[in-house]
Amino acid sequence: MLDKILKIAVLYDFYGALLTEKQQSCLEMHFLQDFSLSEIGDRLGVSRQAVYDIIHRSEQVLLEYEEKLKLVERHQFEQRKIKEILHMMSELPQDMQRMPVFQNVLMKISDLITEAEEA
């Protein structure tokens, strides 16, 4: 269950803005604020079943976006490659690691990681 929640959360981070406001609200209340379906229904003035349907359909839409666009898959691949590069750089001799060009490359990679984490 936790894996599903994490997967939906990541997909929501990437594609949430493409959902309707109602879909966004339902997912945020359910997954981020841990509201029950009944509580969400009360807040939105719809039935518990309607909330379930909205959440289920929203999850399907997020999965479809990823299936077509593959942004999450690409992001995860890029992050793995960046970590591999950092590991390879850490194994270089110390005298090479002190070189300005090495320091510049390391700084650029660190910037990439920071930007990815903030996005």
Residue 118 has what pLDDT? Answer: 77
Same domain for 51 and 96?
no
Same domain for 57 and 102?
no
Same domain for 84 and 61?
no
Sign of CA dihedral 119, 77, 19, 33: negative
Same domain for 45 and 80?
no
Same domain for 57 and 99?
no
Same domain for 48 and 78?
no
What range does the domain containing 90 cover? 73-118
Same domain for 16 and 62?
yes
Residue 12 has what pLDDT? Answer: 97
Residue 114 has what pLDDT? Answer: 85
| DSSP labels, 56-117 | HHHHHHHHHHHHHH-HHHHHHHHHHHHHHHHHHHHTS-HHHHTSHHHHHHHHHHHHHHHHHH
pLDDT tens for the chain, residues 1 to 119? 779 899 999 999 999 999 999 999 999 999 999 999 999 999 999 999 999 999 999 999 999 999 999 999 999 999 899 989 988 998 999 999 899 999 999 899 988 888 877 76
Asked whether the beta carbons of 57 and 35 are under 8 A apart, the reply is no
**3-class secondary structure, 19:** coil
Same domain for 58 and 80?
no
Query: 33: domain CATH number?
Result: 1.10.10.10
Asked whether the beta carbons of 3 and 57 are under 8 A apart, the reply is no
Number of domains in the chain: 2
pTM for the model stands at 0.81
Same domain for 29 and 47?
yes
Same domain for 8 and 65?
yes
Last residue of a domain, one of 52, 69, 86: 69
Amino acid code (one letter) for 29:
M
Token pair recorded at residue 107: 């700084």
